[in-house]
Structure 1
Amino acid sequence: MAAVIPSRLTTLTRLRCSIFQTSYNPTSARTGAKYLRARLRGPSMVKYYPTVINIAQLARKYPALELVDEDEEQRLQDIEDRKKRGKGAPKKAKSKADSRRNQRKR
């Protein structure tokens, strides 16, 4: 039985890859094709964990129920208290001339 020439084998693999639409990788370099072919995990993870419905979503969905989100009310009260003490968030600049960065450069 005669031995097959290596150049013939490479030509054969190149042709096989073109026919079956696989990537030709003669040097066996890492391509990540195994991970790209794998099934995506996201959809099954979303199905596994139940959807969490909070009071804010229910209040938006059914405004007729007039639900009160106590955590949100407390947050708004805390913000108001901080503003009274002068500890609130700074005002946003309306124009480029109003910004703090521009005032610092003068």
Structure 2
Amino acid sequence: MAAVAPARLAALTRMRCEIFQTAYNPTSVRTGAKYLRARLRGPSMIRYYPDELTVAHFNRMPGGFKIQNWEEYQRLADVEEKKRRGKGVPKKAKSKAESRRMSRKR
């Protein structure tokens, strides 16, 4: 029985890859095809971890329940305190003449 020529085996492999729509890789170079064919993990992770329920989300839900957001309340109190001490956000200029830039240029 005669041995089959390597060129014929390579041609057979090439035809098999065309028919079954697989990658022809005669030199066995790493292509990452295994990872590209794998199922995506993102949708499963999104389904596994529930949505984070915050006070703002809870207050927007139907049903009329309202919870005091203490962090927001504290933030607003801190802003008011800074305003009273003069450390708040500077006022916006209503016109070009009121802006600090225009008053600096002489």
TM-score by length of 1: 0.66
Q: Percent identical across equivalent pairs?
A: 55
Q: How many residues align?
A: 93
Would you say 1:74 and 2:68 are equivalent positions?
Answer: no
How big is each residue's C-alpha offset from its partner over 1:13-59, in whole Å with a ceiling of 9 and x where there is no partner? 11111100111111211111111111222222223223331111111
Q: What root-mean-square deviation, in Å, do the aligned CA atoms of Structure 1 and Structure 2 show?
A: 2.9
After superposition, where does 1:16-95 map in structure 2 within 5 Å? Answer: 16-62=16-62, 64-82=64-82, 84-86=85-87, 88=89
**Change in 2 beyond 3 A, CA 1:11/1:66:** same
Moved more, 14-23 or 52-61: 52-61
User: 2: distance between equivalents of 1:80 and 1:10?
Assistant: 79
Higher share of residues assigned helix: 1
Larger Rg: 2
**Change in 2 beyond 3 A, CA 1:46/1:64:** same
